[in-house]
Amino acid sequence: MAKVSLKKTIKAPTGAIGEVRSYARRIWLAGLGAYARVGHEGAEYVRELIKTGEAVEQQGKQRIDHELDAANNEIESVKSTVTSVKGKVEVQLDKIENAFDNRVASALNRIGIPSRHDVETLSAKLDELTALLERVADKQ
């Protein structure tokens, strides 16, 4: 028996349909190549992405630490300024309070109202006199 071999020759389409088929085939092959490459190189690519992510994370942490240190230094500077101003204000308030007390005491003294010191002195003298009277009364 004789073998019959059939060869079918396919002519490449020409014109717009041929270009569309050719373009579609190239797109198909590009997609297939991308799929194959991702399969082979995907693990390495993921490792590279992880390394890059770790580097970016480290840079971010360093920047945050730097900014945090700068903010803390600024806060310390402001605290020392506030403390200095607070001390000066307290000194000035003490001076104003003393001046006010002196003026009020002077005004009360002018109208004949005794000061606290005068009342305390008088009270001490009264205590001495009371003690002296009690001793005299006990002797009799």
Model pLDDT, residue 9: 58
Taking residues 80-96, what's their average pLDDT?
89
The answer to whether residue 123 is domain-embedded is yes
Model pLDDT, residue 61: 94
The answer to whether residue 98 is domain-embedded is yes
Q: How many domains does the chain have?
A: 1
Query: What CA dihedral angle connects 41, 44, 45 and 46, to 10 degrees?
Result: 130
The answer to whether residue 106 is domain-embedded is yes
**What would the pLDDT profile of 16-67 be if each residue is shown by its tens digit?**
777 888 888 899 888 888 878 777 777 777 788 889 999 999 999 999 999 9
pLDDT at 129 over 70: yes
The radius of gyration of the chain from alpha carbons, rounded to an integer in Å, stands at: 52
